[in-house]
Each structure stands twice: as C-alpha cells, then as structure tokens.
Amino acid sequence: MLTRQPTSPGAQAEPALRRVRRWQTVRTWARLIREAEALWRVDVRALHRLASQELFQLVQEVPPRLRRRVNLWLVRFNVMTRLH
C-alpha cells in the first residue's frame, strides 16, 4: 500500500504564486505596449515621435522568455505590435 506524504500548504501555493506573478508581468508588458501604440492615434508629430521611442524601448526590454506570452496579450488587446 502506497501512502502519500502530506505536503505543506506553502509548497502548493508557491507554483501558483509564481504563475500569478508571471501572468501579471506579462500582462503589464502588453498593456505598456498598447498604451504606447495608442499614442499613434493622436495627430501630433511630437507625440508620434514619443510613442515610437517608447514602443521601441518597450519591445527591446521585454525579456525573451516572456515574449510569447506578451504576444498573446497583444492579440487580446487588438494592437498591431508583435514581438519576435
């Protein structure tokens, strides 16, 4: 007869907490990109330049391991930017 050893509640909560933090991080990157892209809808050259710089910087700063998940959020937010 096999018996399972009791696990502490904290051991099960750790992976869930890590998933929540990762989800929040990915969603935050996608929201920042969406906001930078939204500046393109304003018809002012200075804001377009600012949006372009911000968008370029954000795309460069997204960690490679999160890019696939950020792309999923970008699709949900209906923005044009995609990470490679």
Domain count along the chain: 1
pLDDT tens for residues 4-57?
Answer: 555 556 666 789 999 999 999 999 999 999 988 887 777 678 878 888 999 999
- Residue 38, domain extent: 16-76
Angle between helices 67-76 and 9-38 (to 10 degrees): 60
Gap between the Cα atoms of 66 and 71, Å rounded: 9
**pTM, two decimal places:** 0.54
Question: DSSP class of residue 41?
Answer: G
**pLDDT confidence of residue 44:** 78
* Domain-embedded: residue 3: no
* Domain-embedded: residue 9: no
* Domain-embedded: residue 58: yes
Beta carbons of 51 and 40 less than 8 angstroms apart: yes
Q: Is the pLDDT of residue 62 over 90?
A: yes
